[in-house]
Amino acid sequence: MKPSQIKDLLHVYRSDRASGLSETMREAVAAAETDPALHAWVEEEQAFDRAFAAKLREAPAPHDLLPRILAIQEAGPNAAHNHRSAPRSTWAPIVWFGRNSGVAVPAAAALLLFIAVMAITLRPEASVRIDPGVHAFVSAAGTYTGGFENLFMAGDLEELCGYLEASSAPVPRAIPEGLHALSSLGCKKVELEDHTASLISLQGETRYNLFSVERAHFPNQQDLKTPQLRQVGNRAVATWTCRRMIYVLVSEGTVDGLRTHL
């Protein structure tokens, strides 16, 4: 498939509803996972969709909108003539679809206007792209399975960070509050995609692995102030930036479960 065809398919793809996909859709998803540019595009689309859905849930509908729509539908097309003589209000129907249609436009017009405003408002934040090098690093962190032996053991995060600093490993200085309540399993310096990184392993309802790497390795990566969340098989992965560091948090489980610790 061409990239344009893959994008056409993935416009309607939702990672949280990935069960029961057609074979064609599965091929498109697989292609996006292996192509850094397509993967970055999918991340952007998914981020926008999540932000847009959240804003829709926050926006209250006018308290009398549903009764007005139902009343118009029950009145039928003849209601248009009666309406012209009635005083207009903010939500009063003033335009009709078709000669014999009894469907009012205000609700649809308001929704279209809202969509346009939200698209303009939200798109700049959602347009942040993942640098291909960062994408490769995140993929390596998300599939990391070995090297948990020889961890430096300490029960305090500050002590772990002190050990990493002494080992000339990147030191995470912006650890999310939700991780402070977890039990420490240890830390170590690791090599991922030819970059020196640090690993802090924590235990909660499942294991959480926090990888940190210097942003200097990826000068083209924009700020990721909001964690970018994705599901990779049975693992959830979050990626964000803070000052001079890039962070990747990985756990077994769902994105929703991971989000509670960010």
In the DSSP assignment, the letter for residue 59 is: S
- Summarize pLDDT for 76-130 with one digit per residue, the tens: 655 545 544 444 444 444 343 444 444 445 555 555 555 555 554 444 444 467 8
Share of the chain above pLDDT 90, in %: 22
Extended strands (E) in the chain: 183-192, 195-203, 207-214, 228-232, 235-242, 245-252
pTM for the predicted model, two decimal places: 0.54
- In this structure, the number of other CB atoms found within 10 A of the CB of residue 244 comes to 10
Q: Above 80 in pLDDT, residue 250?
A: yes
Q: Residue 147's pLDDT is what?
A: 67
Q: How far apart are CA 241 and CA 128, in angstroms?
A: 12
